[in-house]
A and B are shown apart, each in its own frame.
Chain A
Amino acid sequence: MTDESNAPSAAVQYWQANLRLLVVCLVTWFIVSYGFGIILVEPLNAIMLGGYPLGFWFAQQGSIYVFVALIFFYAWQMNRLDRKFGFQED
């Protein structure tokens, strides 16, 4: 998935920055849904968020809010990367 060359071109640097951003986003995506909503649901349910057991809240509410925020965060960061490396449209 990576290109090997001694002096990476702008396209390669852009792509690697994109991949780093992707890893951050997808790790968050995994933690809030599979981590908090499924794997750790019992211990988290001992904590209450208002009337919600926390694990239950992540599974039925919280993870969805985080998904929305993640996509906008990714879009915003990618717009920055587009400009930084000169790949923005028009």
Chain B
Amino acid sequence: MELATLTYLVVGITFALYIGIAIWARAGSTTDFYVAGGGVHPVANGMATGADWMSAASFISMAGLIAFNGYGASVFLMGWTGGYVLLAMLLAPYLRKFGKFTVPEFIGDRYYSKAARIVAVLCLIIASITYVIGQMKGIGVAFSRFLAVEYATGLYIGMGIVFVYAVLGGMKGITYTQIVQYVVMIFAYTVPAIFISMELTGNPLPQLGLGGDMVGGDMTMLAKLNQVVHDLGFHEYTTQTMGDKINMFVYTLSLMIGTAGLPHVIVRFFTVPKVRDARMSAGWALVFIAILYTTAPAVGAMARLNLMNTIQVGEIGSPTGNLVYDERPQWFKNWETTGLLQFEDKNGDGRIQYYNDANADFAAKAAEWGWQGNEMVKVDRDIMVLANPEIAKLPNWVIALVVAGGLAAALSTAAGLLLAISSAISHDLLKGVFTPNISEQSELMAGRIAMAGAIAIAGYLGLNPPGFAAGTVAIAFGLAAASIFPALMMGIFSKKINNVAAIAGMLSGIGVTMLYVFQHKGIFFIPGTSFLGDMGANWFFGISPNAFGAIGAVVNFVVAFAVAKVTAPPPEHIQHLVEDIRVPKGAGVATGH
């Protein structure tokens, strides 16, 4: 069957499933809408958490990041999984015991302060919106590349699907669609990986294939890759780093703390019946995430090797060693039309030279062969996962499956984020601060309207991505790491932190992080406004702005403890609240009262 027809078919079937579930899982109460009725099985919740967590970035971008950063990309692999250890041990069980609907609600109650709750709501909304823009973009790109529809049309279709199941079903609809989306996503990710691993190493398990020998040779896969990239002047794959050791350390820490502090992930643990389910569910979530995350290093490494070998077909330096441009494979042409892959015949020999011309020694040697610079002027890392099945010449149904998987990843994360935003508005702002006497039916309606509004805003931002969209990931993780995680953790593990200390901590954590990010990237990402411009890049111990959340978190902890030392301890009933959430006994279904 034609690739286009097949893709329509596979994507159409998955979308029909999502809508079917939406009609089946309609929300009848606020408990349904915010926490899916509180009766989700821990394994099911783990699966939904996996889909919620693994976004278009995990599915599409991560393997590409690994392919071009080698060992350096370990910060993402460890950072985005290690956070679940913190979540399972430091936050999830206690917040489940607390038994309310939202993360800002805990902060507001524990610190007996509406101001603290509002600060938390603001952090949540900014972090979630920046995150959701990326998902919307992913949906639009997937549609425009594979289904031959306009970017905008693709975006509207995606918005329409999310609208149906998120507005109708709230958390309940989202949970059950996420479970299906996880299954679609994991099939789409592992099937091509298994094929490619078989082809290169003869081992069907990519996790073992990456550590295995090449087919028809006695070299290991990684040694071969190291050799291939090194011979073309690139850094050896297994030792290439991202900044120095301090940067890698702090980067990993920031991603871990940020992961544990992202509200759309935390609320998933409010949907399980018991405290012990929350602990187990975090374990299951990580199992489901690990299936993709341990496959990704193999996908990245193997895609890199395939890409290099496609272009460097013969001996390096020999006149016929490089691929003739006119004989380039079909996938190469497909991606050229998107502009994500660009070739420029610098030496006019009609062949493609792909090497590291920033490496002076190698560039000098290359010049002797008549190479006049790297001719692959653009290889967008985001195409690696999507192009992988084509590069490995896999059947069309695998490619169609990958498209459906990418869409599932983007939709499931977008829905989780949108729910976090809408519940922050309807439950924390409306019910919690402005109109406390609102009836349950009105609050449910308000939740649905907030959801529809959030979808409209996310769609608008997806259509007109602000110039700073690329830099905003730092903001999402920075805010979660520097404000939400420390506030939650201190709220559980210390009885001494009072309202003033918590607010001072959150604000200084956010302040320091934003200051560093804006100093590097401009105030609100407006170019040319980066104050202190002469401080040099990554001036604080070589730490890159994206990695600064951990420093913000440390500042938050220090300031909060210092302020708590010189102010009065929290009132008696708050100390009892803390004692109560520390023991599992007596946890009911989450309520809003």
* Chain A residues near B (Cβ < 8 Å): 1, 11, 14-15, 18, 22, 25-26, 29, 33-34, 37-39, 41, 45, 49-53, 56-57, 59-61, 63-65, 67-68, 70-72, 74-75, 78-79, 82, 86-90
Contacts and interface: CB of A to CB of B under 8 A. Distances in A.
Contacts of A67: 81-82, 84-85, 286, 290
A78 B207 CA distance: 31
Interchain residue pairs A-B with the least CB separation, the first 10: A51-B220, A59-B74, A71-B283, A75-B279, A52-B211, A50-B211, A51-B211, A60-B297, A87-B583, A71-B88
A39 B249 contact: yes
Contacts of B287: 68
A70 B84 CA distance: 10
Nearest to A90: B274
Contacts of B207: 61
Main secondary structure of the interface of B (DSSP, over half): helix
Given A50-B212, A89-B587, A59 B71 contact: yes
A79 B293 contact: no
Interface in B237-295: 238-239, 245, 248-249, 252-253, 274-276, 279-280, 282-283, 286-287, 290, 293-294
B221 interface: yes
Contact of A56 (B213, B238, B294, B585): B238
B349 interface: no
Contacts, number: 137
Interface in B39-72: 66, 71
A72 B279 CA distance: 8
A8 to B, nearest CB: 13
B493 interface: yes
23 contacts: A18-B582, A22-B90, A25-B89, A26-B89, A38-B248, A39-B245, A41-B71, A51-B212, A60-B71, A63-B78, A63-B82, A64-B77, A64-B81, A64-B290, A71-B84, A71-B89, A71-B282, A72-B283, A75-B279, A75-B282, A75-B283, A88-B276, A89-B584
Contacts of A38: 74, 245, 248-249, 252
Interface of B: 66, 71, 74, 77-78, 81-82, 84-85, 88-90, 93, 207-208, 210-213, 220-223, 238-239, 245, 248-249, 252-253, 274-276, 279-280, 282-283, 286-287, 290, 293-294, 297, 493-494, 579, 582-587
A34 B584 contact: no
B148 to A, nearest CB: 36
B74 A37 contact: yes
B252 to A, nearest CB: 7
A45 B394 CA distance: 34
A26 B66 CA distance: 26
Contacts of A45: 238-239
